[in-house]
Chains A and B, each alone.
Chain A
Amino acid sequence: MDLEYTPEEEAYRQEVRGWIERNLPGDYDPDEYFSTPDVDHRVKVALAWQKKLYEGGWAGLGWPKEYGGRGASVVETQIFSEEVSRARAPMTAINFVGIAMVGPTIIHWGTEEQKKRYLPRILSSEDIWCQGFSEPGAGSDLAALSTHAVEDGDHFVVNGQKTWTSLAHYSDIMYLLARTNKDVPKHKGISAFAVDMKSPGITVRPLVQVTGDADFNEVFFEDVKVPRENLLGPKDDGWNVAITTLMYERAGMGGGLEFEHVLNQLVSRAKQVRHGGVSATRDPWVRQMLAQFIIEWNAVKYTDLRALSKQMRGEPPGWEGSICKLGSSGLNLRMTDFATELLGPYGQLTRECALAVDRGAWIRQALMARALTIGGGTSEIQRSILATRALGLPRK
């Protein structure tokens, strides 16, 4: 066992750290960025940062060089994520679908023409992609999707509805899954497409979340024409295309490094909160709770490093993805709830209130916490995956 980085890797870390320090805008305020309900503002900041990354040659870090990426190794990618997280730079969220999911999928499944057409514009963030998978009737049971694409000469005609589509209202292209064959088992009649979001017949309707902001949307398709050359992968083989994508999505999540900030902020806030005239961190209950959070966060972090070690050696991935997702999303839920309790009645104040602690970030995060146990495969789905695939318990 060896958790040291090599001198070359340490040098790489310094290079990344230096670059980030020099390039983060002077007026960038991470607390504001991560807590503002102003989606427009967040998108603007993130896009500007994404552009800087592109100009610096850091966009598409893990992509092969021949497609404009940096060809970084697994460990370099990890170091980069750690440094981005350390600096609390804007997340790649705005272009996450494009860079972490669609790019690798196109590299794997796309035609030469598609690679030329899409990949450079993903790297430069000229095209922002959204992910059109979930539907009102197809959430955990994704393969039950009913949005359909019917072949008509040199194009397909798409009808149906997608939902929970993050940032669709800022996107240029949708990576769409639609049914192209109704006469075969449900996994075998799905195809993947790139759909221009400006196509006639597409209506995007933002969905307001429990926090009051609108990050995601409903997207309606009414006789939308999609050229045949926008088919990604073979027709009716979209399920396998999607599986490739979801594998890259897990790999691109980087073990949830953002939770470390939540934890650090919780600890520093707890030190400042006074209970009966002394710091809340003198209270044995608070000490036990915070210690438990610290322990669990470290457990998730080290589990992610174990997965990274396997990945670096080209070993097949284990179940760490599901384990880390369950571990970190559950931890985040309890941490943010605990934070609001720690603040007593102040816990309920929102950012508009002058007396709100940390600009109302805690109550907002407590409300947001469920996003992580639902999105990207619910906790229940993760448990079923572990039970049936990792432990081999019978499905029926």
Chain B
Amino acid sequence: MHFDFNEEQKLFRDATRKFLEAECPTTFVRRMMEDPDGYDPAFWRKQAELGWVGMLVPEAYGGVEGTLTDMIVVAEEAGRCVMPGPFYSTSVTGVALLVLAGSEVQKQTLLGPVAAGDRLLSVGILESEGMLSSESVRTVAEHRGGRYTLNGEKLFVPDAHVADTLIVAARTSRGTPPDRGISLFLVDAAAEGVRVEQMPAVDRSRRICRVSLKNVDVDVPGVLGDLDRAWPVVERAMELTHVPCCCELVGLADKTLEMVVDYLKVRVQFNRPIGVFQALQHRCADIMVQNELAKSLSYYACYAVEKNLPQGSVALAMAQAYCSEAAKHTVSDGVQLFGGIGFTWEHDIHLYQRRILSLSMNMGTAEAQREKVAKAFLD
């Protein structure tokens, strides 16, 4: 029984924090917000050199073969500095799908360059309904003459505008049950018929895209995993993604509270630092309680999902529901506690607010997560 990071992971966390404080200050985040792509290849290369990009890639394919727990160490620190760039799309979701479903050849060809930072991935699942469900997948892949032709539109696709390879979920047969009939395809982002457009959204430091597929031609080696049976793999990869997302929320909320507390210690009104007022102190204490509870749920979700325990999905739903609401409360209260300055573009808190809002929305609403918990315990 040791519900904590081990010594090695703690050292790794310290090193990660130090690196990000130096390489990813909010001035850099702001630069990325203004950048047309929101992506800095030099920063990405450094992340690859540190082994973050290949964290979940097996050693045999040039990766670090770390654990999900190692990954959440990075995610929490990434949250603390609102790290921009295609981290989850490539290093987590993309890598997870390749590792889980890829053929030997696909893994050999793609994982090495990905881990080295030479190739970016993006995963397109969601469509117009914006729901992570197999029924919502309307993109069709038609089999003709030993090849597949893809038609459809993917939405909210993270970082597709900079990706080299897109992994796309498409319907290959009318499945019963409905999660049958979904297959995954490796699509070259530059292929004919692929159109990628950024979707302007609240978090400019991490981009999402609309990907149109019009008669896109994919050959059979481009099928990733078993035909018609890809949905469970998609679900597993999304679980592996949402665990670090929860931890990123924890990091974002923790750092927000730190910023608020530092401010309350120095902001003087009525001839004293306003941090002496219990109305404000107790609000900070409530935020701290929520953040610590969120941390416990997300660490437990990491443990249960990593070990593939039967309660993993529900544990993750709990973490998602709680972490997103806790982070949203934290940053909303944070803006209030900063007062007027917290409402300006100049102040950094809105970077945190934007990231928290977009992460929570990308993971699915807290209400939907609670319904998953209800199903598990009440039905």
Stretch from B32-40, B105-113, B291-299, B344-352 contacting the other chain: B291-299
Instruction: Please judge, given known A-B contacts A75-B1, A326-B289, A391-B261, whether A291 and B377 are in contact too, CB under 8 Å.
Output: yes
Q: Which of A305, A309, A320 has the most CB of B within 10 A?
A: A305
B261's partner among A308, A320, A393 (CB-CB below 8 A) is A393
A312 at the interface (CB under 8 A from B): yes
B85 within 8 A of A: no
Count of B interface residues, CB-CB < 8 Å:
46
Nearest CB on A from B8, distance (A): 12
A320, B1: Cβ atoms closer than 8 Å? no
Q: Is the CB of A393 within 8 A of B284?
A: yes
Q: Are B374 and A302 in contact (CB under 8 A)?
A: no
- Closest approach, in angstroms, between the C-beta of B371 and any C-beta of chain A? 6
Which stretch in A101-109, A204-212, A220-228, A379-387 binds the other chain?
Answer: A379-387
Question: Per-position contact with A for B241-282: 1 when CB-CB < 8 Å, else 0?
Answer: 000000000000000010001001100000011011010111
How many interface contacts (CB-CB < 8 Å) are there between A and B?
A: 158
Chain B residues near A309 (CB, 8 Å)?
Answer: 1-4
Tell me whether A387 and B282 are in contact (CB under 8 A).
yes
Q: Given A299-B293, A394-B265, are A288 and B378 also a contact pair (CB < 8 Å)?
A: no
Q: A270-B378, A287-B378, A392-B261 are in contact. Are A386 and B289 (CB under 8 A)?
A: yes
For B275, list chain A residues within 8 Å (CB). Answer: 393-394
Given contacts A281-B379, A306-B3, list 4 more A-B pairs with CB under 8 A: A1-B3, A326-B285, A386-B285, A393-B261
B12 part of interface (Cβ distance < 8 Å) = no
Interface size of A in residues (CB-CB distance below 8 Å): 52
Contact with B along A1-12 (1 / 0, CB 8 A): 111111001000
**CA A312 to CA B322, docked complex, whole Å:** 27
Selected A-B contacts with CB under 8 Å, 7 pairs: A281-B379, A291-B377, A294-B377, A295-B373, A300-B293, A387-B281, A395-B276
Query: Within 8 Å CB of B276, what residues of A?
Result: 393-396
- On chain B, the residues within 8 Å of A384 by CB distance are 278, 281-282, 285
Nearest A residue to B291 via CB reads A323
How far apart are the CA atoms of A291 and B274 in the complex, in Å?
37
B104 at interface, CB cutoff 8 A: no
A288-B374 contact given A312-B1, A383-B281, CB 8 Å threshold: yes
Closest approach, in angstroms, between the C-beta of A226 and any C-beta of chain B? Answer: 38
B255 to chain A, nearest CB (A): 14
Chain B residue numbers with a CB within 8 Å of A298 are: 297, 300, 315, 318
Query: How long is the Cα–Cα vector from A271 to B378 in the complex, in angstroms?
Result: 7
Most chain A CB within a 10 A radius of its CB, from B303, B322, B370: B370
Nearest 8 CB-CB pairs, A to B?
A387-B281, A302-B296, A299-B293, A291-B370, A383-B285, A287-B374, A386-B285, A291-B373
